[in-house]
Amino acid sequence: MLLKIPLILGPQPEGGFTVTSPLLPEFVTEGDSAAEALANVQDALAAVVELYQDSGRPLPANIEQHDENAPVWLETVVAAP
Protein backbone atom coordinates (compact mmCIF):
# COMPACT_ATOMS: atom_id res chain seq x y z
CA MET A 1 0.00 0.00 0.00
CA LEU A 2 1.37 3.39 -0.98
CA LEU A 3 0.41 6.30 1.25
CA LYS A 4 1.17 9.99 0.88
CA ILE A 5 0.98 12.08 4.01
CA PRO A 6 2.05 15.58 4.91
CA LEU A 7 4.83 15.61 7.47
CA ILE A 8 5.97 18.33 9.83
CA LEU A 9 9.60 18.15 10.93
CA GLY A 10 10.07 20.20 14.08
CA PRO A 11 13.33 20.91 15.89
CA GLN A 12 13.21 20.29 19.63
CA PRO A 13 14.70 22.76 22.15
CA GLU A 14 16.72 19.99 23.81
CA GLY A 15 18.06 18.82 20.43
CA GLY A 16 16.80 16.40 17.85
CA PHE A 17 13.67 16.50 15.73
CA THR A 18 10.08 15.33 15.97
CA VAL A 19 7.99 14.34 12.93
CA THR A 20 4.19 14.58 13.05
CA SER A 21 1.37 14.64 10.50
CA PRO A 22 -1.67 16.93 10.62
CA LEU A 23 -3.79 14.22 8.93
CA LEU A 24 -2.87 11.49 11.42
CA PRO A 25 -2.85 12.84 14.99
CA GLU A 26 -1.54 9.49 16.28
CA PHE A 27 1.56 9.73 14.09
CA VAL A 28 4.73 10.85 15.87
CA THR A 29 8.36 9.85 15.61
CA GLU A 30 11.68 11.47 16.42
CA GLY A 31 15.41 11.29 15.96
CA ASP A 32 18.63 12.93 17.04
CA SER A 33 19.00 14.46 13.56
CA ALA A 34 16.58 15.40 10.80
CA ALA A 35 17.83 12.46 8.73
CA GLU A 36 17.32 10.02 11.60
CA ALA A 37 13.83 11.35 12.33
CA LEU A 38 12.82 10.98 8.67
CA ALA A 39 14.34 7.48 8.56
CA ASN A 40 11.92 6.52 11.36
CA VAL A 41 8.83 7.64 9.40
CA GLN A 42 8.12 4.30 7.73
CA ASP A 43 8.07 2.36 11.02
CA ALA A 44 5.91 5.01 12.71
CA LEU A 45 3.47 5.03 9.81
CA ALA A 46 3.24 1.24 9.86
CA ALA A 47 2.34 1.40 13.57
CA VAL A 48 -0.39 4.00 12.90
CA VAL A 49 -1.84 1.96 10.02
CA GLU A 50 -1.95 -1.08 12.31
CA LEU A 51 -3.66 1.00 15.02
CA TYR A 52 -6.34 2.12 12.57
CA GLN A 53 -6.85 -1.43 11.28
CA ASP A 54 -7.07 -2.89 14.81
CA SER A 55 -9.66 -0.31 15.84
CA GLY A 56 -11.68 -0.72 12.63
CA ARG A 57 -11.20 2.93 11.67
CA PRO A 58 -10.55 3.86 8.04
CA LEU A 59 -7.50 5.92 7.18
CA PRO A 60 -8.26 9.35 5.72
CA ALA A 61 -9.21 8.71 2.09
CA ASN A 62 -6.95 11.41 0.69
CA ILE A 63 -3.70 9.77 1.87
CA GLU A 64 -3.87 6.72 -0.39
CA GLN A 65 -1.69 6.85 -3.49
CA HIS A 66 -3.50 4.72 -6.04
CA ASP A 67 -1.09 5.26 -8.94
CA GLU A 68 2.52 4.56 -8.06
CA ASN A 69 3.58 6.38 -11.25
CA ALA A 70 1.76 9.60 -10.33
CA PRO A 71 3.89 12.52 -9.19
CA VAL A 72 4.00 13.41 -5.50
CA TRP A 73 4.64 16.92 -4.20
CA LEU A 74 7.68 16.94 -1.91
CA GLU A 75 9.17 19.85 -0.03
CA THR A 76 12.40 19.57 1.89
CA VAL A 77 15.19 21.70 3.27
CA VAL A 78 18.64 20.99 1.86
CA ALA A 79 21.88 22.52 3.11
CA ALA A 80 23.89 23.87 0.21
CA PRO A 81 27.70 23.78 0.42
Residues above pLDDT 90, as percent of the chain? 68
Burial class from Cβ neighbours inside 10 Å (0-12, 13-18, 19+) for residue 23 reads: middle
Q: How far apart are CA 43 and CA 66, in angstroms?
A: 21
The Cα–Cα gap between 72 and 81 comes to 27
19 with 28: CB under 8 angstroms?
A: yes
Give me the domain span that covers residue 36: 9-57
Residue 24 lies in a domain: yes
1-45 pLDDT, tens digit each: 788 899 999 999 999 999 999 999 999 999 999 999 999 999 999
On whether the CB atoms of residues 72 and 65 are closer than 8 A, the answer is yes
Residue type, 51: L
Overall domain count for the chain: 1
